Amino acid sequence: MISIIIPALNEENNLKRLLESIKKQGFFNYEIIVADAGSEDKTKEIALAYKCIVIKGGLPAKGRNEGAKIAKGETLFFLDADTLLQDNFLNNSISEFENRKLEIASFRLLPISNDKKAKIFLDLFYNIPIIILEKLLPHAATGIIIKKNIFEKVGGFDEDIKLSEDHYMARRAQKIAKFGLIRSAKLLISDRRFKKDGWLKTGIKYLFCELHMIFIGPVKSDIFKYKFNHYGKDKS
Protein backbone atom coordinates (compact mmCIF):
# COMPACT_ATOMS: atom_id res chain seq x y z
CA MET A 1 0.00 0.00 0.00
CA ILE A 2 1.01 3.58 -0.73
CA SER A 3 0.11 6.23 1.83
CA ILE A 4 -0.44 9.57 0.12
CA ILE A 5 -0.01 12.40 2.64
CA ILE A 6 -1.17 15.92 1.82
CA PRO A 7 -0.74 18.91 4.18
CA ALA A 8 -3.39 21.51 3.46
CA LEU A 9 -4.70 24.90 4.53
CA ASN A 10 -7.71 26.47 2.81
CA GLU A 11 -7.19 24.44 -0.35
CA GLU A 12 -10.78 23.56 -1.31
CA ASN A 13 -10.28 24.23 -5.03
CA ASN A 14 -6.80 22.78 -5.50
CA LEU A 15 -7.39 19.80 -3.22
CA LYS A 16 -10.49 18.74 -5.13
CA ARG A 17 -8.57 18.94 -8.40
CA LEU A 18 -5.71 16.86 -6.99
CA LEU A 19 -7.97 14.22 -5.45
CA GLU A 20 -9.90 13.89 -8.69
CA SER A 21 -6.64 13.29 -10.56
CA ILE A 22 -5.67 10.59 -8.04
CA LYS A 23 -9.06 8.95 -8.41
CA LYS A 24 -8.56 8.69 -12.18
CA GLN A 25 -5.14 7.02 -11.93
CA GLY A 26 -6.25 3.42 -12.26
CA PHE A 27 -4.06 2.69 -9.22
CA PHE A 28 -6.03 1.42 -6.27
CA ASN A 29 -3.66 0.24 -3.56
CA TYR A 30 -3.43 3.46 -1.60
CA GLU A 31 -4.82 5.53 1.22
CA ILE A 32 -4.96 9.32 1.34
CA ILE A 33 -4.27 11.26 4.52
CA VAL A 34 -5.03 14.99 4.55
CA ALA A 35 -3.35 16.89 7.39
CA ASP A 36 -5.48 19.99 7.76
CA ALA A 37 -3.91 23.06 9.36
CA GLY A 38 -7.16 24.65 10.48
CA SER A 39 -8.86 25.43 7.16
CA GLU A 40 -11.78 27.84 7.21
CA ASP A 41 -13.15 26.77 3.84
CA LYS A 42 -14.42 23.36 2.65
CA THR A 43 -11.04 21.62 2.59
CA LYS A 44 -11.99 19.07 5.25
CA GLU A 45 -15.41 18.41 3.77
CA ILE A 46 -13.92 17.77 0.33
CA ALA A 47 -11.28 15.45 1.77
CA LEU A 48 -13.94 13.43 3.58
CA ALA A 49 -16.11 13.31 0.45
CA TYR A 50 -13.20 11.65 -1.36
CA LYS A 51 -12.85 9.16 1.53
CA CYS A 52 -9.58 10.62 2.79
CA ILE A 53 -8.43 10.28 6.37
CA VAL A 54 -8.43 13.79 7.85
CA ILE A 55 -6.14 14.63 10.76
CA LYS A 56 -4.96 17.79 12.48
CA GLY A 57 -1.88 19.24 10.81
CA GLY A 58 0.07 22.47 11.06
CA LEU A 59 2.89 23.84 8.95
CA PRO A 60 3.85 21.45 6.11
CA ALA A 61 6.55 19.60 8.05
CA LYS A 62 4.20 19.07 10.99
CA GLY A 63 1.37 17.92 8.76
CA ARG A 64 3.55 15.44 6.88
CA ASN A 65 4.97 14.01 10.10
CA GLU A 66 1.53 13.62 11.65
CA GLY A 67 0.31 11.87 8.53
CA ALA A 68 3.27 9.50 8.53
CA LYS A 69 2.54 8.50 12.13
CA ILE A 70 -0.79 6.92 11.19
CA ALA A 71 0.12 5.78 7.68
CA LYS A 72 -0.50 2.09 6.98
CA GLY A 73 1.57 1.92 3.81
CA GLU A 74 5.15 0.73 3.60
CA THR A 75 5.77 3.54 1.12
CA LEU A 76 4.90 7.19 1.80
CA PHE A 77 4.08 9.67 -0.93
CA PHE A 78 4.09 13.30 0.20
CA LEU A 79 2.25 15.70 -2.09
CA ASP A 80 1.48 19.41 -1.88
CA ALA A 81 -2.20 20.25 -2.16
CA ASP A 82 -1.72 22.46 -5.22
CA THR A 83 -0.23 19.73 -7.39
CA LEU A 84 -1.88 17.63 -10.09
CA LEU A 85 -1.13 14.12 -11.38
CA GLN A 86 -0.96 13.38 -15.08
CA ASP A 87 -2.53 10.18 -16.45
CA ASN A 88 -0.68 7.02 -15.31
CA PHE A 89 1.50 9.08 -12.98
CA LEU A 90 1.21 6.65 -10.05
CA ASN A 91 1.71 3.48 -12.08
CA ASN A 92 4.74 4.92 -13.88
CA SER A 93 6.30 6.44 -10.76
CA ILE A 94 5.82 3.48 -8.45
CA SER A 95 6.99 0.99 -11.10
CA GLU A 96 10.17 2.97 -11.70
CA PHE A 97 10.68 3.46 -7.97
CA GLU A 98 10.55 -0.29 -7.43
CA ASN A 99 12.44 -1.33 -10.58
CA ARG A 100 15.36 0.97 -9.76
CA LYS A 101 15.24 -0.20 -6.14
CA LEU A 102 14.98 3.37 -4.92
CA GLU A 103 14.19 4.15 -1.30
CA ILE A 104 13.54 7.86 -1.72
CA ALA A 105 12.69 9.75 -4.88
CA SER A 106 11.38 13.05 -6.15
CA PHE A 107 10.34 14.63 -9.44
CA ARG A 108 11.00 17.21 -12.07
CA LEU A 109 8.24 19.81 -12.16
CA LEU A 110 5.91 21.20 -14.79
CA PRO A 111 3.51 24.14 -14.38
CA ILE A 112 -0.19 23.29 -14.48
CA SER A 113 -0.71 26.40 -16.56
CA ASN A 114 0.58 26.63 -20.13
CA ASP A 115 2.66 29.65 -19.20
CA LYS A 116 5.94 29.35 -21.13
CA LYS A 117 7.63 31.68 -18.67
CA ALA A 118 6.82 29.31 -15.82
CA LYS A 119 8.15 26.29 -17.72
CA ILE A 120 11.39 28.04 -18.66
CA PHE A 121 11.86 29.24 -15.09
CA LEU A 122 11.31 25.75 -13.65
CA ASP A 123 13.61 24.13 -16.19
CA LEU A 124 16.46 26.60 -15.77
CA PHE A 125 16.31 27.08 -12.02
CA TYR A 126 15.05 23.71 -10.83
CA ASN A 127 14.75 20.78 -13.24
CA ILE A 128 18.14 21.04 -14.93
CA PRO A 129 20.10 21.78 -11.72
CA ILE A 130 18.50 18.92 -9.75
CA ILE A 131 19.37 16.45 -12.51
CA ILE A 132 22.98 17.64 -12.56
CA LEU A 133 23.16 17.45 -8.75
CA GLU A 134 21.14 14.25 -8.38
CA LYS A 135 23.94 12.14 -6.92
CA LEU A 136 25.83 14.92 -5.18
CA LEU A 137 23.13 17.08 -3.60
CA PRO A 138 19.59 15.64 -3.63
CA HIS A 139 16.59 17.91 -4.07
CA ALA A 140 13.07 16.81 -3.20
CA ALA A 141 10.26 19.35 -3.23
CA THR A 142 6.49 19.25 -3.74
CA GLY A 143 6.37 15.49 -4.28
CA ILE A 144 8.44 12.89 -2.41
CA ILE A 145 8.22 9.09 -2.39
CA ILE A 146 10.05 7.40 0.48
CA LYS A 147 10.04 4.03 2.19
CA LYS A 148 8.44 4.42 5.59
CA ASN A 149 11.30 2.68 7.42
CA ILE A 150 13.80 5.15 5.92
CA PHE A 151 11.56 8.08 6.84
CA GLU A 152 11.43 6.86 10.42
CA LYS A 153 15.20 6.30 10.59
CA VAL A 154 15.93 9.91 9.65
CA GLY A 155 13.31 11.20 12.07
CA GLY A 156 10.95 12.58 9.45
CA PHE A 157 10.85 16.27 8.60
CA ASP A 158 12.59 18.66 10.97
CA GLU A 159 9.76 20.88 12.20
CA ASP A 160 12.17 23.57 13.37
CA ILE A 161 13.27 24.32 9.79
CA LYS A 162 11.46 27.31 8.29
CA LEU A 163 12.17 26.70 4.59
CA SER A 164 13.33 23.76 2.43
CA GLU A 165 12.82 21.15 5.13
CA ASP A 166 11.99 18.76 2.30
CA HIS A 167 15.41 19.11 0.66
CA TYR A 168 17.08 18.71 4.04
CA MET A 169 15.16 15.52 4.78
CA ALA A 170 16.15 14.09 1.39
CA ARG A 171 19.82 14.83 2.02
CA ARG A 172 19.71 13.09 5.38
CA ALA A 173 17.90 10.12 3.85
CA GLN A 174 20.39 9.89 0.98
CA LYS A 175 23.12 9.08 3.47
CA ILE A 176 21.42 5.78 4.35
CA ALA A 177 19.20 5.10 1.34
CA LYS A 178 19.21 5.10 -2.45
CA PHE A 179 17.91 8.41 -3.84
CA GLY A 180 16.85 9.10 -7.40
CA LEU A 181 14.78 11.41 -9.57
CA ILE A 182 11.87 9.74 -11.32
CA ARG A 183 12.33 9.91 -15.09
CA SER A 184 9.03 8.38 -16.24
CA ALA A 185 6.76 11.09 -14.84
CA LYS A 186 6.77 14.79 -14.05
CA LEU A 187 4.70 16.43 -11.35
CA LEU A 188 2.35 19.25 -12.30
CA ILE A 189 2.49 22.17 -9.88
CA SER A 190 0.80 25.53 -9.45
CA ASP A 191 2.87 28.60 -10.28
CA ARG A 192 0.87 30.78 -7.87
CA ARG A 193 3.79 31.30 -5.50
CA PHE A 194 5.86 32.78 -8.31
CA LYS A 195 3.02 35.01 -9.47
CA LYS A 196 2.21 36.14 -5.94
CA ASP A 197 5.75 36.73 -4.68
CA GLY A 198 7.43 37.53 -7.98
CA TRP A 199 9.61 35.30 -10.15
CA LEU A 200 12.90 37.04 -9.41
CA LYS A 201 12.21 37.43 -5.69
CA THR A 202 11.23 33.78 -5.35
CA GLY A 203 14.27 32.57 -7.28
CA ILE A 204 16.65 34.67 -5.19
CA LYS A 205 15.01 33.53 -1.95
CA TYR A 206 15.48 29.87 -2.76
CA LEU A 207 19.02 30.43 -4.03
CA PHE A 208 20.02 32.05 -0.74
CA CYS A 209 18.22 29.30 1.16
CA GLU A 210 20.23 26.71 -0.78
CA LEU A 211 23.51 28.48 -0.01
CA HIS A 212 22.50 28.76 3.65
CA MET A 213 21.88 25.00 3.81
CA ILE A 214 25.20 24.18 2.16
CA PHE A 215 27.50 26.54 4.05
CA ILE A 216 25.71 27.23 7.34
CA GLY A 217 23.01 24.60 7.78
CA PRO A 218 19.23 24.38 7.56
CA VAL A 219 17.28 27.62 7.93
CA LYS A 220 15.81 27.62 11.44
CA SER A 221 15.30 31.36 11.80
CA ASP A 222 12.54 33.27 10.04
CA ILE A 223 14.87 35.27 7.80
CA PHE A 224 12.83 34.39 4.72
CA LYS A 225 9.47 35.06 6.45
CA TYR A 226 7.82 31.89 5.19
CA LYS A 227 4.01 31.78 5.22
CA PHE A 228 1.93 28.65 4.68
CA ASN A 229 -0.59 29.34 1.90
CA HIS A 230 -0.82 33.13 1.67
CA TYR A 231 -2.36 33.05 -1.79
CA GLY A 232 -5.94 33.95 -0.89
CA LYS A 233 -8.43 32.62 -3.41
CA ASP A 234 -5.86 32.28 -6.19
CA LYS A 235 -6.08 28.67 -7.37
CA SER A 236 -3.88 28.84 -10.47
Q: What is the pLDDT of residues 24-55, one digit of tens each?
A: 999 999 999 999 999 999 999 999 999 999 99
Answer positive or negative: Cα dihedral of 70, 73, 78, 79. Answer: negative
- Read off the pLDDT of each residue in 119-138 and give the average, rounded to a whole number: 94
CA angle 72, 81, 181 (to 5 degrees): 75
pLDDT given for residue 123 in this prediction: 94
CA angle 14, 42, 202 (to 5 degrees): 40
Band (78; pLDDT cuts 50, 70, 90): very high
Of 68-72, 97-101, 123-127, 194-198, minimum mean pLDDT range: 194-198
Domain 2-215 fold is: Spore Coat Polysaccharide Biosynthesis Protein SpsA; Chain A (3.90.550)
Domain positions in the chain are 2-215
Question: What whole-number distance in Å separates Cα of residue 122 and Cα of residue 119?
Answer: 5
Answer positive or negative: Cα dihedral of 97, 102, 106, 109. Answer: negative
* Higher per-residue confidence, 18 vs 221: 18
Q: Are 47 and 16 spatial neighbours (Cβ–Cβ below 8 Å)? A: no
pLDDT at 129 over 90: yes
pLDDT given for residue 198 in this prediction: 77
- Read off the pLDDT of each residue in 115-125 and give the average, rounded to a whole number: 90
pLDDT at 217 over 70: yes
Band (115; pLDDT cuts 50, 70, 90): confident
